């Protein structure tokens, strides 16, 4: 079975802190994605990557950056956390040409 | 108008009932369609793909109506364990998916 692992299940940070969310997948998937999920807004795509060192902006990239130095790892960075970035963050991966997404269990981030 | 729209519910149904959800999409160029299931405080998981000819998996039936731009999910003989949020997903190209906000189903004894 595909496993997508997110480093933290719950995270509490202060406004202005730099935050790193890590995601690792073990199925050699080319595609990786970061979403955030908020009540009433559903899942919104922040950034995605089709290959190592490649990244593409999703629908809401402002305030975020990403890093993909290795194929299996896709990191989401909040340069200076703000309260409106309090959310559930979900990482996902898929094979090239395949539409089925495999999700990690999510990180509930609270920014105080 | 949202690209993908769903009735948020909740749909409260008794065990054994049949329930159906619809999902409308705005882009006629949409290529692929899926239903994902998300349990409370868990990640979404693929429930089933939706094919033009419709498809069935046990108690679940998914259908696509391209002319009216909607997909549907029918659940027969509802179980308590079917309680979850059902997310409609639409793609415009192979690797980018658009999620609906989900329809919440609550099955009661």
Q: Considering only residues 56 to 85 of chain A, which have any Cβ-Cβ distance to chain B shorter than 8 Å?
A: none
Interface test with B, best of A29, A101, A106 (most B CBs within 10 A): A101
State residue B94's pLDDT score: 58
Cis amide leading into A104 (omega within 30): no
The two three-digit tokens of residue A73, written as one number: 């790892």
Please state the rounded mean pLDDT for residues B50-72: 93
* Cβ–Cβ gap A103/B43 under 8 Å: yes
Rounded Cα distance between B18 and A12, Å, is: 42
B41 CB-side CA count, 13 A: 3
Pairing of strands B96-99, B84-93: antiparallel
Minimum distance, in Å, between the CA of residue B28 and any CA atom of chain A? 18
pLDDT above 90: residue B97:
no
Least CB-CB distance to B42: which of A31, A41, A105? A105
pLDDT band at B29 (very low <50, low <70, confident <90, very high): confident
Question: What are the residues whose beta carbons fall under 8 Å from the beta carbon of A47, sequence distance 6 or more?
Answer: A33, A34, A55, A56, A57, A58, A61, A64, A65, A66, A76
Mean pLDDT of chain B: 92
């Amino acid at each position: 079975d595909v496993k997508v692992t997110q480093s933290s299940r719950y995270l509490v940070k202060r406004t202005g802190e730099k935050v790193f969310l890590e995601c690792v997948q073990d199925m050699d998937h080319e595609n990786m994605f970061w979403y955030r999920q908020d009540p009433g807004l559903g899942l919104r795509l922040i950034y995605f990557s089709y290959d190592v060192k490649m990244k593409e902006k999703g629908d809401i990239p402002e305030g975020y950056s990403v890093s993909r130095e290795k194929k299996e790892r896709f990191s989401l960075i909040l340069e200076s956390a703000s309260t409106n970035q309090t959310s559930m963050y979900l990482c996902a991966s898929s094979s090239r040409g395949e539409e089925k997404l495999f999700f990690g269990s999510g990180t509930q981030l609270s920014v105080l | 108008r949202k690209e993908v729209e769903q009735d948020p519910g909740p749909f409260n149904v008794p065990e054994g009932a049949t329930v159906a959800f619809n999902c409308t999409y705005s882009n006629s160029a949409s290529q692929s369609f899926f239903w994902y299931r998300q349990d409370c405080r868990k990640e979404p998981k693929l429930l089933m793909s939706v094919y033009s000819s419709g498809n069935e998996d046990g108690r679940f039936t998914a259908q696509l109506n391209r002319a009216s731009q909607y997909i549907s999910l029918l659940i027969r003989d509802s179980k308590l364990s079917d309680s979850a949020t059902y997310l409609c997903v639409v793609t415009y190209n192979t690797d980018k998916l658009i999620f609906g906000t989900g329809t919440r189903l609550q099955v009661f004894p």
